[in-house]
Amino acid sequence: MYVVLTPSPSGSTVTRVDPSGRVAGSPTEVGNGELEDFVRRLSVESPRWTWTDTAVAYPPLLDAGVRIERCHDLRLCRAILRNSTLTAGSEVATAPRDELDGETPSAGSASAQTLFDVLPAGTAGDPVAELQRQLAAVAACAEPNRLRLLLAAESAGALAAAEMRHAGLPWNVDRHEALLEEQLGPRVPPGVRPARLEALAGEIRRALDAPQLNPDSPQEVLAALRGAGLNVQTTRSAELRRIEHPAIPPLLDYKKRSRLLTANGWNWLDTWVVGGRFSSDFLPGGVPSGRWAARGGGALQLPKQIRSAVLADPGWKLVVADAAQLEPRVLAAMSGDTAMAGAGRAGDLYEGIVATGAVPDRNSAKYAMLGAIYGATAGEGGRLLPKLAQAFPLAIGLVETAARAGEKGEAVSTRLGRSAPAAGPGWRDAQTLAVDSGLESPEQRRARSAARERGRFARNFVVQGTAAEWALCWLAELRRRLVPLTAEDGARPELVYFLHDEVLVHAPAEQVDAVADAVRAAARAAGRLLFGEFPIDFPLDVVIVDDYGQA
DNA sequence: ATTAACGGCGCG
DNA sequence: AAAGCGCGCCGTTAAT
């Protein structure tokens, strides 16, 4: 049963909707301040709470100590159904854009307020009507079960994201500050260059004979390097590493330490770590492929350098689990390539590929595989691709087919039906023009390059997107399995971090084994949800540690 | 003075 | 050690 919560002047209107979209009974009113109790009472029925934005509706409930089992996030589901080729032509896909399209309006932002006030409360703004349109679109499509799973997983992810923001990542400020002092020198106010960086800046200036040089300016650094007779195109570390010159070692050292200062220095600590927790916004569906994005503090880019500051509370542990070679395994399963699935059976998928004789060693297997998924044209990855295609025609065939579709501007879709839309008319016209004109013109080259780029995007989309679906199902299953692990004193394992193919659970020490079991069981369940009985393994690396740096 | 784009680098 | 894909955030620089 769906239970739709619609904001009303005095609180919320509650409407029950059955899975076929029919309204059951008459709507009731719940006053402000009574919603938490109401939700708690009704939770014995395991309703699917339905609202426009989990990120808006759920945090107040969490603050009141209320957890939700299941939900339907109308905004996230709208985004999927708008683009999915499975629901093309449905009412929800063809309706004019309204306030449910696009990002969650952030609370307090002026534009959000005015938008909300100005838009008429027509059917577009009615959550019940929207739910009915969404259910109808799914019911009428060719793969309703896949889409239902995707919408449920996306919505469960939204719950997990809100809970992770609520819990925060346990962060030890003392450890972090010790690390900063060791790498940069004593703390300095914002805008002042720390001692260690100042010393390195001096070395760089002397070595390049450029006393005024600002090492933070790529332009100035490039000019100074050229002034010293070095033939360089950029100031990227990867390029500089190939050069022999006294200025290079201090410059690389400067870049590394300066990055620590600007990305995760004292300023970051003051801004993002409150009460021993790093809390940031996770944005489910933030990436077209279905991966999450994050906003605030660079939560999905925590450098390995500082992960030792992620420290479990006394008496608690961190259970860190990541899925081994997730994307190639997903590709094997979605293409029905039993040979590649078999290569992953024993354990390491890349070693399994080596054992088939297709490639000479593990590194070759890895780069050839990644090359196939990303669309590498050069390097070792591109060179070994034919061998891989010979050994695993179904898997390689799937990404090649996606690439060809992308190059033609067609839509492509993941296993569960998330689609990257077809290219617009402008893009297609440019392609047609480029083909028709006989000469090798700049436009022609540009158009071909754009086509190849779109091909690489499409090739990657189907695999990355299906891997994201596996990860969402994993997360949803894990979240469910953690609930019964609550101890008598109320201490409960908490999901605190999710990074594409990796999860962190902060758990009381006596529960870590149960948590590790839950994480593994959830991975098995995710595999079955997506690929049924197809024989594919998704092995995990699971470690139980005090700090994330040990993982 | 504020905003947008760029170069660079962290993560998967 | 490597090139392909997807992101967010920093300081600098160019544009408004």
Place of tokens 């050229």: A226
Angle at A219 between CA A215 and CA A221, to 5 degrees: 40
pLDDT in tens, A237-254: 989 998 999 999 999 999
A46 CA → B4 C1’, Å: 48
* Residues by Cβ under 7 A, strand B: A 218, 222, 234-238, 255-256, 259, 263, 298, 300-305, 322, 464, 499-502
Q: Is the CB of A297 under 7 A from strand C?
A: yes
Q: What mean pLDDT is reported for chain A? A: 91
Angle, in degrees to the nearest 10, between helices A379-391 and A393-407: 120
| Nucleotide at minimal C1' distance from the A300 CA | B11
Are A496 and A170 contacting, i.e. CB atoms less than 8 angstroms apart? yes
| Predicted confidence band of residue A124 (pLDDT cuts 50, 70, 90) | low
Per-residue confidence (pLDDT) for residue A116, from 0 to 100 = 40
> C10 C1' – A454 CA distance, angstroms?
29
Return the H-helix or E-strand segment holding A157: helix A144-167
Protein CA A108 to sugar C1' B5 (Å): 28
**Are the C-beta atoms of residues A539 and A527 closer than 8 Å to each other?**
no
Query: Is a pLDDT exceeding 90 seen at residue A440?
Result: no
Give the pLDDT score at A106. Answer: 66
Q: Where are the domains of chain A?
A: 1-167, 173-271, 326-465
Structure confidence at residue A382 (pLDDT) = 77
Torsion angles phi and psi, residue A45, rounded to 5: -85, -5
CATH class for the domain made up of A326-465:
mainly alpha
**pLDDT (0 to 100) of residue A441:** 74
pTM, to two decimals:
0.94
- A92 has pLDDT over 70: yes
Task: Compare A436 and A273 and report the one with higher pLDDT.
Answer: A273
Nucleotide nearest to A295 (CA to C1'): C8
Range scoring the smallest mean pLDDT among A93-107, A179-193, A283-297, A332-346: A93-107
Q: Residue A437: its pLDDT value, please?
A: 65
What pLDDT is recorded for position A274? 93
**In the prediction, which pLDDT does A119 show?**
41
Q: What is the largest CA-CA distance in chain A?
A: 81
The pLDDT value given to residue A439:
61
CB contact burial A429-459 (16+ within 10 A = b; e otherwise): ebbeebeeeeeeeeebeebeebbeebbbbbb
User: What average pLDDT does this structure show over A267-279?
Assistant: 94
A113: pLDDT confidence band, cut at 50, 70 and 90?
very low
* Mean pLDDT across A17-32: 95
A234 touches strand C (CB under 7 A): no
- Please compute the mean of the pLDDT values over residues A489-509 and round it to a whole number: 94
Mean pLDDT, to the nearest integer, of A522-527? 96
Is the CB of residue A331 less than 8 Å from the CB of residue A340?
yes
pLDDT value, residue A438:
61
Is A418's CB less than 7 Å from nucleic acid strand C?
Answer: no
pLDDT of A117 reads 39
Res. A461: pLDDT tops 50 = yes
A377 sits within 7 Å of strand C by its CB:
yes
Cα distance between residue A412 and residue A409, in whole Å: 9
Mean pLDDT of A53-59: 95
pLDDT exceeds 90 at position A444: no
The Å distance, CA of A443 to C1' of B2, is 36
Q: What is the reported pLDDT for A288?
A: 92
Q: What is the mean pLDDT of residues A281-286?
A: 92
Per-residue pLDDT at A504: 97
pLDDT digits (tens, 9 = 90+) for A356-413: 999 999 988 998 998 899 888 777 777 888 889 999 999 999 999 999 999 999 999 9
Chain C positions with an atom below 7 A of a protein C-beta are: 1-14
pLDDT at A447 over 60: yes
What's the Å distance between residue A443 CA and nucleotide C3 C1'? 25
A295 touches strand C (CB under 7 A): yes
Contact A59, A67 (CB under 8 A): no
Residue range A84-101: mean pLDDT, rounded: 95
Q: How many CB atoms lie within 10 A of CB A269?
A: 19
Percent with pLDDT over 70 in chain A: 96
Report, in ranges, which bases of strand B sit under 7 Å from a protein C-beta. Answer: 7-12
Spatial distance from the CA of A239 to the C1' of B6 (Å): 18
Under a CB-based contact definition with an 8 Å cutoff, are residues A56 and A76 in contact? no
Q: Is the pLDDT of residue A109 over 50?
A: no
The nucleotide whose C1' lies nearest the CA of A293 is C7
Unique residue bearing structure tokens 């914002």:
A190
Rounded Cα gap, residues A165 and A282, in angstroms = 7
